[in-house]
Amino acid sequence: MARTGIANLPLHGGKAPPWLFGRMVRLSREIAGHVVAEHGADEMLRRLSDPFWFQAFGCVLGFDWHSSGVTTTVCGALKEGIRGSEADFGFYVAGGKGATSRKTPGEIAAACETLSLEPKPLVYASRMAAKVDSAAVQDGYQLYHHSFLFTPAGRWAVIQQGMSDATGMARRYHWSSHGFAGDFVDEPHAAVCCDERSPTLNLVASESAPARSASAEIATQDPTATLRTLSKLPTLDLASRHHVVAAEDVATPYMKKILLRTWERAPKDFESLLGIEGVGAKTLRALALVSELVYGTTASTKDPARFSFAHGGKDGHPFPVDRETYDRTIDVLSSAVSHAKVDRSEKVSALRRLAAFANPPPERLVHDA
């Protein structure tokens, strides 16, 4: 897992006003078009999976530089910006915030139908990314946003976000198929970003491998013995590394039903266990505790969260959005890149001139002053 840094994402209310969101849609389209033209769709997805590039992208689009809303709004603007032109851009965006996230499998399947592409691997990647961050990484953040981006070649990226009522903060989870070895349960993330670490049961940490194996083993056994072990938890003096210290934390009325299901399915490994419908955070927590009591396998409690001023921000920070400059940027990018009837080398020259215009040399600044 590449831990690349910390991003502060305090929860903010409200939403982007229509006059700003419309501009975000157009500018995100122009920027995405340039990145794809110069570097390809795979590179666009790779950059979006970098939390710092993503945050900078949101700042350039004029959203609050330190707001949790940058995640949902930027993903929404990009999805809308390329809508209908996905084939030209070379990538597709599925999912979104709240109820829209539940439409992700259908949106993936619909796009794959037009591409004559088998959707199952992509749907599986989307589902497992959501399952890992909602159940296998138990950090106190409830997922409410899931965006899945993919190319016709099968490259993909996931940007999803959870919120914590206790801390008033959001946490963003980035995934990328770039460099991904195909293991969804052993250090799978490209990055996890938040400014606060929290008590965490991290079942996808490398050091949790023995606990994962033991949990999968226990899931294949008669649930009577597992439930009997769970019933003893209130009498145990658990170490401080545990964040579950009472049976009611894990033994719900549905636990026996779910354990019967895992027993019948006999999952061959932890990833198969995680993929079983109904196996969520409490089931995994219970199995991890039982596996430690029975086998002595300790699950990791290491939190995976580790360590712009182009157009202003929606809330007036660092200054109110400059609409005139914003619109001029869209027009310049559009005419200089997307609609110019020039070859690749001339496009690069045009963009270099644009960069020079945006960043004049010191002597010009002195002269202008």
Domain assignment of residue 356, yes or no: no
**174 & 256 share domain:** no
> What is the average pLDDT value for the chain, to the nearest integer?
79
Is residue 358 one of the residues assigned to a domain? Answer: no
In a domain, 218, yes or no: yes
pLDDT band at 332; cut points 50, 70, 90: low
Average pLDDT rounded to a whole number, residues 37-60:
89
Is the pLDDT reported for residue 275 higher than 50? yes
pLDDT digits over 57-99, tens only? 887 887 655 556 788 999 999 999 999 999 999 999 999 999 9
Neighbours of 123 (CB within 10 A): 19
Instruction: Note the pLDDT of residue 191.
Output: 85
| Residue scoring higher pLDDT (162 or 346) | 162
Beta strands 169-176; 201-202: pairing state: unpaired
Q: How many CB atoms are located within 10 Å of the residue 261 CB? A: 17
**Which stretch, 2-16, 24-38, 87-101, 168-182, has highest mean pLDDT?**
87-101
Which of 213-217, 218-222, 236-240, 246-250 shows the lowest mean pLDDT across its residues?
236-240
Q: Are residues 104 and 128 in the same domain?
A: yes
Residues 189, 232 share a domain: no
Within this chain, do residues 118 and 210 fall inside the same structural domain, yes or no? no
Q: What is the pLDDT of residue 13?
A: 54
Same domain, 190 and 213: no
- Structural domain count, the chain: 2
Distance separating alpha carbons of residues 17 and 26, to the nearest angstrom: 15
Q: Is the pLDDT of residue 335 over 50?
A: yes
d(CA 359, CA 369): 15
Q: Give domain status of residue 146, yes or no.
A: yes
Of 89, 84, 103, 109, nearest to 48 by C-alpha is 89
> What is the residue range of 213's domain?
206-295
Strand partners, 170: 163
pLDDT at 48: 94
Question: Does a structural domain hold residue 271?
Answer: yes
Integer Cα distance of 339 and 303 in angstroms: 46
137-138 and 92-97 beta bridge pairing = unpaired
Q: Could you tell me if 63 and 112 lie in one domain?
A: yes
Residue 368 has pLDDT above 50, yes or no: no
> Do strands 201-202 and 191-193 pair parallel, antiparallel, or not at all (unpaired)?
unpaired
Query: Last residue of a domain, which of 240, 260, 295?
Result: 295
Q: Which one of 161, 182, 200 terminates a domain?
A: 200
Could you tell me if residue 362 is inside a domain? no
- 228 & 157 share domain: no
Tokens 């670490």 belong to residue: 197
Does residue 15 register a pLDDT over 80?
A: no
249 is a domain residue: yes
pTM: 0.74
Q: What is the pLDDT of residue 63?
A: 61
Q: Are 47 and 155 in contact (CB under 8 A)?
A: no
CB atoms within 10 A of CB 299: 28
* Same structural domain, 61 and 195: yes
Q: Is the pLDDT of residue 1 over 80?
A: no
pLDDT band at 20 (very low <50, low <70, confident <90, very high): confident
pLDDT at 307: 31
* Stretch 6-19: mean pLDDT: 58
Residue at which a domain ends, from 239, 274, 295: 295
State the Cα–Cα distance between residues 242 and 289, nearest whole angstrom: 9
Tell me the per-residue pLDDT of 282-329, one tens digit each, with 9 for 90 and over: 888 888 887 887 777 888 877 665 434 444 555 554 456 667 766 766
Which region among 109-123, 175-189, 325-339, 355-369 has the lowest average model confidence (pLDDT)?
355-369
> Helices in the chain by DSSP H: which ranges?
18-39, 41-48, 51-60, 69-81, 86-89, 104-115, 120-131, 209-219, 223-231, 255-265, 270-275, 281-295, 323-333, 344-358, 362-368
CB 231 within 8 A of CB 251: yes
> Are 25 and 132 part of one and the same domain?
yes
Same domain for 34 and 183, yes or no, is yes
pLDDT, mean of residues 272-290? 87
Token pair, residue 315, equals 């809330």
CA–CA separation, 140 vs 135, rounded Å? 10
β strands within 135-185, DSSP E: 137-138, 142-150, 156-164, 169-176
Name, in order, each residue with C-beta under 8 angstroms of 341's C-beta and a sequence gap of 6 or more.
none
User: Which pLDDT belongs to residue 288?
Assistant: 84
Tell whether the model's pLDDT for residue 252 goes beyond 70.
no
pLDDT score of 4 = 36
- Residues 270, 202: Cα–Cα separation, whole Å: 13
Angle at 132 between CA 299 and CA 207, to 5 degrees: 25
**Contacts with 67 (C-beta within 8 Å, 6 or more apart), sequence order:** 9, 10, 12, 314, 315
Query: Please, what is the angle between helix 223-231 and helix 281-295, to 10°?
Result: 80
In a domain, 326, yes or no: no
